[in-house]
Amino acid sequence: MADAHVTEDDPTIEAAADARRAAALGAIRQYGDPVLKGRAREVDAFDDQLRRELDAMGMLMHDAQGVGLAANQVGTLHRVLVYAVDGGEGPVRKLVNPTIAWRSDDVEVGPEGCLSLPRISVDVERHVFLAVRAKDEDGRDIEVEASGFEARIIQHEMDHLDGILILDRTSRDQRKRALRELRARAQA
């Protein structure tokens, strides 16, 4: 329950959210970290440790104000990802050992950002529709049929599990621009 005297425009709430986001981004591996280029390994133990890992990833994603997070981004080479379609505020979906069962021929180019490349946005071509087979956190088989933004999020996070970043999927010009921005920030 929210305090009736507090509004969303309250600077205290905004400052707390900014602090949580900064702390979360500090816990997420950033561009240049070699784990981001590693290929994640299949999970075979569906236990409390896996459930804790997925729950922690979901909380970290929310605190970072993201809509998806792959295990590589937290330094673990497990083949797991979490995402939430509704601006990161909706329920967290958890996919273990995801594989694409089907993807449409229809593709679209759209802007993407990444918690491992904060404040960078590049255009990436993605399939509009797809079906993903995975396991849930208890090892049960699940299938997700996704389109639009949800399909984009899943493809982005699955790329992470294969060591692929958005910079690997964009045009040469956009990659150069993004790398210049990253270098400028590192020098500032």
Q: Tens digit of pLDDT for each residue in 11-27?
A: 787 888 888 888 888 89
The full set of domain ranges for the chain reads: 11-187
Return d(Cα 39, Cα 71) in angstroms, integer.
10
* Nearest-angstrom CA–CA distance, 79 and 53: 12
Contact 181, 120 (CB under 8 A): yes
pLDDT for the residue numbered 50: 98
Active-site positions? 157
What is the pLDDT, as a whole number, of residue 88?
59
Strands 107-114 and 93-103: unpaired
pLDDT tens digits, one per residue of 140-151: 999 999 999 999
Q: Is the pTM of this model over 0.85?
A: yes
What would you measure as the largest C-alpha separation in the chain, in angstroms?
A: 51
Range 11-187: architecture per CATH: Alpha-Beta Complex (3.90)
